[in-house]
Amino acid sequence: MSPSAAPTTAPSSRFAPLQNDTFLRACWRQATDHTPLWLMRQAGRYLPEYVATRAKAGSFMGLATNTDYATEVTLQPLERYALDAAILFSDILTVPDAMGLGLSFAQGEGPRFATPVRDEAAVAALEVPDMDRLRYVFDAVTSIRRALNGRVPLIGFSGSPWTLACYMVEGKGSDDYRLVKSMLYSRPDLMHRMLEVNADSVAAYLNAQIEAGAQAVMIFDSWGGVLADGAFQQFSLAYTDRVLKQLKREHDGVAIPRIVFTKGGGLWLDNMAALDCEVLGLDWTVNLGQARARVGGAVGGPGKALQGNIDPNVLFAPPAQIATEVARVLDSFGTPHLDPNTSGPTHIFNLGHGISQYTPPEHVAALVEAVHTHSRRLRGR
């Protein structure tokens, strides 16, 4: 899409005009003054202010389902760091919870479903949930967008159909994915049925987030990389594609970019290039320069913007080493696209997966400073 075809900064009658559109411009492969930066799980347990707010809320779901708390924790990292986007504070498992699977978060154990989906009857009973059951998410989107007051764009998100299926069948996180893969191989008909429902649910969910005020949406295919070649294309990629085909292209006269991130998906980058989305997220195993050459496109031509991909554990190194690794990632992408009159290869800096809860907050400050400083230097600024 050409710059003129992506009205990323058009004012909405409901919200304040956007002051910093660097992230959205990069999504549309437009030249930017610096490489925009945001972090997966940027609102989270590594921040003491988040821990304090969660304590007030009493539980994770108490936090996520309370509009004021969800707004507060979404904005917390922006008060500390010069980030170029906010991401809705929520969880990928809200959709299956709305299907009636009974989501809970035990302290120190992660998410768990009371009624996993493991047999034909359970799969047959699945249906796209009433989006009113997720009203708390959409209310949070609108509240956050208003609280941002145009400071930076707001990203909405969902888990991918396959990633949701992993949790729905396993009932919790898994080390070997034995139960979900057993269903995939022994009863592929059941798995396809579940993925169809999941895909249509995710599409409805993301469209409702867009209507509530999300300015970009991201699909987290967190467990796509655990699949075998061939199975990935059939059981993950095809259903991510089904979601994308149903998503709103614009809202309130503003185009909405779509991001797809598959952890462990570097092997299938060329397959993913065919997806109907603007941005592909990459984990730390992928060389950005090679990814740019494969799917980033040329100046004036089509291609995907790239997002990523520093190893989150770099943030445990001293600030000087963090700056060195930031420079390495930015240099691996290469010379930024600078022509303001056309589209071309662009990069959004991020982690290769979510930030660790043990990350020192001051190390995140060093990362942000290094990204902005070195990316401006690469542009001769």
Residues designated catalytic? 41, 45, 54, 91, 167
Asked if residue 306 lies in contact with residue 348, where contact means CB atoms within 8 angstroms, the answer is: yes
Distance in angstroms (rounded) separating the CA atoms of residues 123 and 96: 12
Comparing C-alpha atoms, which of 3, 45, 43 is closest to residue 27? 3
Token digits of residue 180: 């979900």
Question: Could you tell me how many helices (H) and strands (E) the chain has, helices first?
Answer: 16, 11
Residues 114, 117, 119, 120: is their CA dihedral positive or negative? positive
Residue 252 region, left (φ>0) first, then alpha (ψ -120 to 50), else beta? left
DSSP category for residue 89: -
276 marked among binding-site residues = no
* Residue 108 marked in a binding site: no
> Which amino acid belongs to residue 191?
M
CB burial readout 311-322, b (16+ within 10 A) else e: bbebbeeebeeb
Q: Is 167 annotated as a binding residue?
A: yes
Residue 43 labelled as part of a binding site: yes
25 annotated to a ligand binding site: no
- Residue 314 near residue 325, CB atoms below 8 Å: yes
Residue count of the chain: 381
Q: Which residues pair with 310 in a beta bridge?
A: 351
CA distance 230 to 207: 29
In angstroms, rounded to a whole number, what is the distance separating the alpha carbons of residues 224 and 162? 7
Q: Which residue has the tokens 């603007």?
A: 278
Q: Is 42 annotated in some ligand binding site?
A: yes
- Quickly list DSSP for 160-203: -HHHHHHHHHHSB--SS-HHHHHHHHH-HHHHHHHHHHHHHHHH
Strand partners, 37: 349
Query: Which residues define the annotated binding site?
Result: 41-45, 91, 167, 222, 353
Query: Which residues define the annotated binding site for substrate?
Result: 41-45, 91, 167, 222, 353
